[in-house]
Structure 1
């Protein structure tokens, strides 16, 4: 069949498309910019004629229609592979649930049958002459998700850029049940501007950076501050290999710092798996020959990262204890984000011959009552989720310095972490370390 004729045959309204959803179904929105805003609204309208619908997504950027229209969660249960600030409001209210995972394994949860999908709804770029729809800004585990879905509905949006990929970067019209045309705004999440504390932490990491390295940056103020330092520096010929491409990378491309010329793998190409940032970033990626998308199973694979050799991974975390355990996704039992790819990149960076991984955090925080608390703890006791175990703890960074933890004993870790703790808490941490028998007896105070 002619692809344009097939397109017209399958084109329908969002209200008609969501009739594919039946009682008890799992509906998958994929992640980030793949969020199908028009279809979400149409599905929400079916609240009263459906029962027990489970929706899966990750990193929501605006209110979710199926939850806003169903305040008592009688019909819809919202499940999240990774959480944004918007998602936390739902989780805190007991209206959404976290689905723990590692990004490098995310696709396999679908193909091994652990994550069922009756209906997949994703936003894609407009169809090309061959009948293909680019996944655009979200490659991630899209191929695996679509391979197991019983029904596939595409929300076609001209704002979604065409992004070329290493493999499985598009879907053909023949594989699709319904086409819904939409001009809903794509999800955006412009990066937070760095503050003074972010810049202080970034300055501690900067001396470890060098020409020709391949860089993985997390999202947030500190990575943006580091980007500012790099953009203003003499560093050159950097590479990009990252799970999430944000505006911090755009600044580095515009400054001419990222060329990918020295990469040991896929030289000349920047690689990402999901992209979330500004409209300017999305326009930069449209039909770009410099940047390719790839599935998480490739981008976050330890075997892939190992081949990059001069690989530097920089991510944030929430708290660290004196043993080197790192919590990056919860505050006590309160879910903040998710494991995501942190452990993937910590593991991969260590496997790379000259690789290093840095986990950064402010040494302390001030609560709403104005009371200061240390982010370096004697030990975790409040149900905090351990994202990176002590056996894989890399370089830990605060505004007071860098603690190198691989190969260190418990007493060496305690010393190194206390040295970068906020000065107001160092004596208490020493006393705790003594009580926990991880403070060297001969250490003079």
Structure 2
């Protein structure tokens, strides 16, 4: 590892993960690196979890507050949550154990737009950051930190933390050096200046993280891979949804509202986005660009095929096969991929200026276009809002996609009123399920409802939805957005009581 830690001062701070974890105390606030299972510290969280459990076994209180870029992995969120070690967490998570601790009340969770998390920490809204714990591909001779497969909020953590612990991971490719673009032009209001990005491929920062050497208190060596989860095979519903979205893009081009190579693309993670990317791969489109959060397998295929000129993001979210390909060919891919801090990748100013075209997943939408992307049955947190709000509110065109049903048809994704609102009817423009597409632009609420019901709802639920809407229109005194408040959540109540939203 000596070639990975070229700075003599940092080499003198080498220690085990256990010794580094011993520096952390009850109540400390920790900014962990990591975003969608990429670039998170691998060794220290487990060592810290062991220390916390030993303290609990002695009857001592020991929890830490956890700041991240987004979701991490079982080795971080899962390890700390399993020992009741997280008192509070932000801004996004997806680990099953962490989710359970949030939902049973063990841990507090603040769900924040990803673009705003760094700014709030810089402003001091959450108090002092005691430690930043980040992953590096290498430390240069002059002490600069070369990030790995994500940046997320790492630049904020190392700037604001009192102390920094660096894990140098030899699994990560050294050829990632040069892929990153760390912007240091931020100032807090009222001293902010425009972000100088006018194209997804613009580089506006530096290739490394600046960290004062006296802040670094420990360096730990690791060689463990990222959490790279294989993507499920693309199913028929995902292909149908992707087909509707691609047809919609094609029509926007024909109407003169987008150029032939589209506008910079953004998408969430999962089967449907990969189906969209697969559709683009087999289309005649060329010179595509992307300004998004994460680089997925489908984007790598588009780069390989010469169809995607540049992709700007803050992290990878790759399958094991594609993570290996990235490590083997990082010197090639860094010519086409830029990894930025998430306060840039998700910044409303850049999204609006570039005219990003966004597509994100949802749990449910109601007949007027409000969208719930975080809570099942109104109370049970799934993952968090992530960056979907950043892109939905500010994109040139924003779509929400989902299968029309869940739980083998017992849950409808189209309901009379969403049980939790993350994205209001004012933000989303298009809703797509495998049943069809509802373009809501320019429509009043009473024009939206029939279109969403007829085009997006599953046939098993379509008559029930239309019956609700027609009775609301008839019986509600005020006609702009008619609702039967006594029935608006009856579908969710019925599911909780009977296991299905269907009426017997």
160, 180, 192: which is aligned to 2:172?
Answer: 160
Distance 2:325 2:88 in 1: 29
Quote the residue 2:14 is aligned against.
Answer: 11
Quote the residue 1:262 is aligned against.
Answer: none
Moved more, 149-158 or 89-98: 89-98
Q: What is the CA distance between 1:434 and its match in structure 2?
A: 2.1
Distance 1:328 1:137 in 2: 26
Distance 1:61 1:3 in 2: 29
Q: Are residues 1:43 and 2:48 paired?
A: yes
Q: Are residues 1:296 and 2:307 paired?
A: no
Distance 1:99 1:209 in 2: 35
Kept in 2, the 8 Å contact 1:27–1:53? The answer is yes
Kept in 1, the 8 Å contact 2:274–2:296? The answer is no
Distance 2:328 2:389 in 1: 29
Moved more, 401-410 or 322-331: 401-410
Flag the 1:92–1:237 CA change in 2: closer, same or farther, 3 A.
Answer: same
Flag the 1:395–1:366 CA change in 2: closer, same or farther, 3 A.
Answer: same
Kept in 1, the 8 Å contact 2:242–2:273? The answer is yes
Q: Are residues 1:373 and 2:411 paired?
A: yes
Distance 1:148 1:107 in 2: 10
Quote the residue 1:266 is aligned against.
Answer: none
Distance 1:61 1:294 in 2: 21
196, 209, 214: which is aligned to 1:170?
Answer: 209
1:294-352, CA deviations, whole angstroms, 9 ceiling, x for partnerless residues? 1222222222122224x321111110001210011111211112111112112221xxx
Counterpart secondary structure, 2:269:
coil
Kept in 2, the 8 Å contact 1:24–1:52? The answer is yes
1:4-48, CA deviations, whole angstroms, 9 ceiling, x for partnerless residues? 320222211112212221222112223332322210122123223
Quote the residue 1:322 is aligned against.
Answer: 367
Q: Are residues 1:118 and 2:154 paired?
A: no
Flag the 1:388–1:67 CA change in 2: closer, same or farther, 3 A.
Answer: closer
Quote the residue 1:241 is aligned against.
Answer: 291
The alignment covers a number of residue pairs equal to: 415
Q: What is the CA distance between 1:281 and its match in structure 2?
A: 5.5
Distance 2:108 2:205 in 1: 31
Flag the 1:285–1:300 CA change in 2: closer, same or farther, 3 A.
Answer: farther
1:151-193, CA deviations, whole angstroms, 9 ceiling, x for partnerless residues? 1100110222423214354244614221111112222233333
Task: Map 1:281-360; keep pairs closer than 5 Å.
Answer: 282-283=326-327, 286-287=330-331, 288-309=334-355, 311-332=356-377, 333-349=379-395, 355-360=396-401
Distance 2:51 2:34 in 1: 22
Distance 1:52 1:80 in 2: 15
* Unaligned residue ranges in structure 2 (runs of 5+): 56-60, 182-203, 251-259, 481-504
Counterpart secondary structure, 2:350:
helix
Flag the 1:422–1:208 CA change in 2: closer, same or farther, 3 A.
Answer: same
Counterpart secondary structure, 1:202:
helix
Flag the 1:179–1:171 CA change in 2: closer, same or farther, 3 A.
Answer: farther
Counterpart secondary structure, 2:7:
helix
Q: What is the CA distance between 1:256 and its match in structure 2?
A: 2.0
Cα RMSD (Å): 2.5
1:124-150, CA deviations, whole angstroms, 9 ceiling, x for partnerless residues? 111233322212222222211221111
